[in-house]
Amino acid sequence: MPKDSSDHIDRILEQWRRERPDLDTAAMGVLGRLFLARDLADAMLAAPLAERGLQPGWFDVLAALRRSGSPYELNPTDLMHATMLSSGGTTKRLDRLADSGLVERRADPDDRRGTLVRLTRRGKGAIDRAVEAHLVNEERVLRSLAPAERRTLDDLLRKLLEELDRDRPITSIAEPPEPVLLRGRGVVIRPLRVEDVDTVARIQAEPGVARWWGPPDVADLRRQAAGDTEEVAFAILSDGEIVGFIQYAEEDEPDFRHAGIDIFLAEHAQGRGLGTEAIRTLARHLIHERGHHRITIDPTADNARAIRAYEKVGFRPVGILRDYWRSPEGTWRDGLLMDLLASELGPT
């Protein structure tokens, strides 16, 4: 770069040198340009993909499937690792891609609880056309660098990434949890299985459950049992019998990290303290094993029995969620947001 030229980063550094001459801002300059280059490159690469009907994030998923080779399919976990997305982010993108007819899900013949995600013929055609245009645009992004300069930049970035990867924590809050078996007083909570779906659907269809939850969505329950949704779903057992369903979802944005819980019990299991114990058991797991400091739950505002059960665990009302949930009758009903801090978890 000519010595008499300057850019936005230079101006920022000059301001810091003026205000704090004691600081070494060299690293700020390098990383500032790196981040700015990323943002500008992302914008240049995204626009042509959008013109081809690919929403942000779709290209990475379709490309991962395409480069895996025929039959162009992966399980959700392998796909998550290939795209470096969280489980929730992968699920949301797959839902949209499936709705657009670019991918399809099918049962994994080698894993009765698993699913596979496959490119459709339409999806393969879309990614083949998109990757050709994408490579042309990547060349456009780097057009100011000579071949030797590109190789030097590539070597330096590889060196930086190797060092950053060594320093990265072994585990990440975005990694999917391992299957767990949780035990409380009188209840066992285990991961939902495909063979549980019919039983859980019958429970949800009971009038005393459907009143608060609506009718069961069997297809969604099957996806949850396969681990192909953002939520982590469990069956609640008492004396070896499935008596309910409980799930949690995690917000992994570091500044807002927390988990939310949902639960329902069969009519004959209600009023026996099983719901309270199931909630307490899962909350304990989320706090002590998953590292959450705050748990939320949002019953319908007039579900007094559920609210009392949650209060026994330590949940406190936060506020009314107006017209929050549409009931099976088609009317909008208020919800009640409740939360529990780690320090407030009631005794076992």
The reply to whether 33 and 129 lie within a common domain is: no
* Segment (H or E) for 231: none
The reply to whether 41 and 74 lie within a common domain is: no
Structure tokens at 268: 């004959």
Give me the tens of pLDDT residue by residue for the chain, a chain 348 residues long: 444 567 788 889 999 999 999 999 999 999 989 988 888 888 888 878 888 888 767 888 999 999 999 999 988 778 877 776 655 566 767 878 888 899 998 877 765 556 789 999 999 999 999 999 999 999 999 999 999 999 999 999 999 988 887 776 544 444 445 557 899 999 999 999 989 999 999 999 999 999 999 899 888 898 888 877 778 999 999 998 999 999 999 887 777 889 999 999 999 999 999 999 999 999 999 998 888 999 999 999 999 999 999 999 999 999 999 998 888 888 889 999 999 999 888 655
The reply to whether 317 and 191 lie within a common domain is: yes
Tell me if 3 is assigned to some domain. Answer: no
Tell me if 219 is assigned to some domain. Answer: yes
- What is the residue type of 99? D
The reply to whether 327 and 218 lie within a common domain is: yes
pTM of the model: 0.53
Taking each helix axis from N to C end, the angle separating 218-225 and 197-205, rounded to the nearest 10 degrees, works out to: 140
Going from the C-alpha of 110 to that of each of 75, 114, 180, 328, the distances in angstroms are: 11, 8, 21, 38
Residue 223 to residue 226: CA distance in whole angstroms? 5
Domain of 157, CATH number, reads 1.10.10.10
The reply to whether 245 and 316 lie within a common domain is: yes
* DSSP for 242-254, written as a single string: EEEEEEEEEE--G
CA atoms within 13 A on the CB side of 30: 8
Going from the C-alpha of 14 to that of each of 7, 17, 20, 34, 122, the distances in angstroms are: 11, 5, 10, 18, 52
Tell me if 176 is assigned to some domain. Answer: no
Number of domains forming the structure of the chain? 3
The reply to whether 101 and 233 lie within a common domain is: no
Residue 287 φ then ψ, to 5°: -80, -50
Its domain, for residue 318, covers: 182-344
The reply to whether 163 and 204 lie within a common domain is: no
